Amino acid sequence: MSATPLATLLPTLLPAEDLSLTLEVLASHGIVQDVDLLFSPPLPPHPCLPPDLLDRLRSLVATKLSATSTSGAYLLQQSRDRKGKQFQRFSSTLDDFDDDLDGGFDVGEVNELTGPRRSGRTAFALYVLLFHLLIHRDKRAAWLDTTSTFDPYRCLAILRDHLIPRLRAMGGSFAGADGVEPEPEKLAIEVLDRLAVSQVSKSGAALDILTAEAKAMGKPQTLDMVVIDTLDVLVGGEAVASGSAQGNANLIAFMRRLHGIARSSTNPLAVFVRSRPFHFTLLRPTPPLSSLPLPNPLKPALSPTCSYLVDLSLLFVSAEPLFGAKEGKERGFVEVVKNRRAQAGGMIGFKLENGVRLEQL
């Protein structure tokens, strides 16, 4: 993404105001492009750039850069496609939490799964993806692994030991034309055959892989779900979190292209991106991310810009900081901190045993 000069952008945002002196003041501080203004350090006061004007300009530029809108044509096409069909979203596998998500996840959306390490983000993503592939044999999915930590044996255990027995206990059947139920491990392997795992370290390569997978010819199944693990690696999380203008420009460019792929009119995708929030600091105060009384409050992953670039954001936290190592062991909470479809809010407790058994509390 190429940055836009402020001399070009600001007159279009405020056509009725003369901002020539304001532009000169900004340029004297090295602020000449949109990303420079959005992520600049505090500026000394100046008669031609009062604080309220500076805040207004930053807000307008942030809206121009970050807001990812949904076109009316896209919504109309979604409505037409759903007429006469029973609309069904992708389940979180936590029944009560699906209610907070208005039925679950949907194609055409980018969903953020954020939280500290060992908070349950990966297990949740695996359950959503594997459950979807298990009950939809005509679908396939992709997992982009940036840290070389994807574990196929963990996936096998989740399917064989938990998801398949759970569905069969509810009366589900996976019998073929011969009426014979397959062995759990054989069925699990068949499901994993429809999951494409790629190791990537560059944002451009990740987008190229997604585009190629979505357009892959000769495969009987349709790609409709993608997990990116993790977003921090692809866009340079430390640079973005530190307020780097270039880092935030890279984040915005990547997320805009990702939204374009997710909202394809021919092959829309449900996209999940994993990220890691930072601990609150007095140097850069920001409202706490969670409504829970955490001893070390968290602030948004990467930067506040990221929250404008996702449709849904879920925060995962371990229960140990709240209830201690004994009572909080293998327990956590997932909270809806942003929801483009509805008002944010909604939280549920879960139990995660050995990283493979995820259940609602």
Residue 119 is part of a domain; what is its CATH number? 3.40.50.300
The residues pairing with 313 across neighbouring beta strands, listed in sequence order, are 112, 338
Residue 7 has pLDDT above 70, yes or no: yes
Highest-pLDDT range among 61-65, 73-77, 151-155, 302-306: 151-155
- Asked whether residue 126 is assigned to any structural domain, the reply reads yes
* Average pLDDT over the chain, rounded to an integer: 83
- Asked whether residue 83 is assigned to any structural domain, the reply reads no
- Asked whether residue 120 is assigned to any structural domain, the reply reads yes
The answer on 96 and 58 residing in a single domain is no
The answer on 158 and 11 residing in a single domain is no
The answer on 206 and 118 residing in a single domain is yes
Q: Which domain holds residue 49?
A: 6-66
Give residue-wise pLDDT tens across range 154-202: 999 999 999 999 998 888 888 888 888 899 999 999 999 999 999 998 8
Q: Are 253 and 263 in contact (CB under 8 A)?
A: no
What is the residue type of 58?
Answer: R
Residue 271: pLDDT band by 50, 70, 90 thresholds? very high
The answer on 286 and 138 residing in a single domain is yes
Residue 37 has pLDDT above 90, yes or no: no
The answer on 93 and 61 residing in a single domain is no
CA 25 to chain centre: 38
Residue 283: pLDDT band by 50, 70, 90 thresholds? very low
Residues 182-197: b if buried by 16+ CB within 10 A, e if exposed: eebeebbbebeebbbe
Query: Residue length, the chain?
Result: 361
Higher pLDDT: 23 or 88? It is: 23
Q: Are 6 and 34 in contact (CB under 8 A)?
A: yes
Q: Are 219 and 264 in contact (CB under 8 A)?
A: no
Residue 19: pLDDT band by 50, 70, 90 thresholds? confident
Question: How many domains are contained in the chain?
Answer: 2
Calculate Rg over the CA atoms of the chain.
Answer: 23
Question: Taking residues 23-39, what's their average pLDDT?
Answer: 83
Higher pLDDT: 163 or 308? It is: 163
Helices (H), ranges, the chain: 6-13, 20-28, 34-38, 51-66, 72-82, 95-100, 121-135, 152-158, 164-169, 184-192, 203-214, 231-235, 237-241, 245-262, 304-308, 320-327
Confidence at residue 144, expressed as pLDDT on a 0 to 100 scale: 96
Confidence at residue 360, expressed as pLDDT on a 0 to 100 scale: 93
Higher pLDDT: 271 or 299? It is: 271
What is the residue type of 68?
Answer: T
- Asked whether residue 78 is assigned to any structural domain, the reply reads no
For 315, residues 6+ apart whose C-beta sits below 8 A from its C-beta are 114, 115, 277, 289, 290, 298, 334, 335, 337
Residue 211 has pLDDT above 70, yes or no: yes
Residue 316 DSSP SS3: strand
Q: State how far the Cα of 132 lies from the Cα of 141, in Å rounded to an integer.
A: 9
Higher pLDDT: 108 or 287? It is: 108
The answer on 163 and 18 residing in a single domain is no
Confidence at residue 190, expressed as pLDDT on a 0 to 100 scale: 95
Q: Are 114 and 277 in contact (CB under 8 A)?
A: yes
Two tokens at 129? Answer: 């993806």
**DSSP 8-state secondary structure symbol assigned to residue 308:** H
Residue 86 DSSP SS3: coil
Higher pLDDT: 69 or 245? It is: 245
Q: State how far the Cα of 155 lies from the Cα of 356, in Å rounded to an integer.
A: 8
Residue 238 has pLDDT above 80, yes or no: no
User: If you search the block for the tokens 């006061």, which residue do you land on?
Assistant: 45
Short-list 162, 140, 165, CA closest to 357: 162
Question: Taking residues 333-337, what's their average pLDDT?
Answer: 90
Q: Which of 123-132, 267-276, 303-312, 331-340 has the lowest mean pLDDT?
A: 303-312
For 183, residues 6+ apart whose C-beta sits below 8 A from its C-beta are none
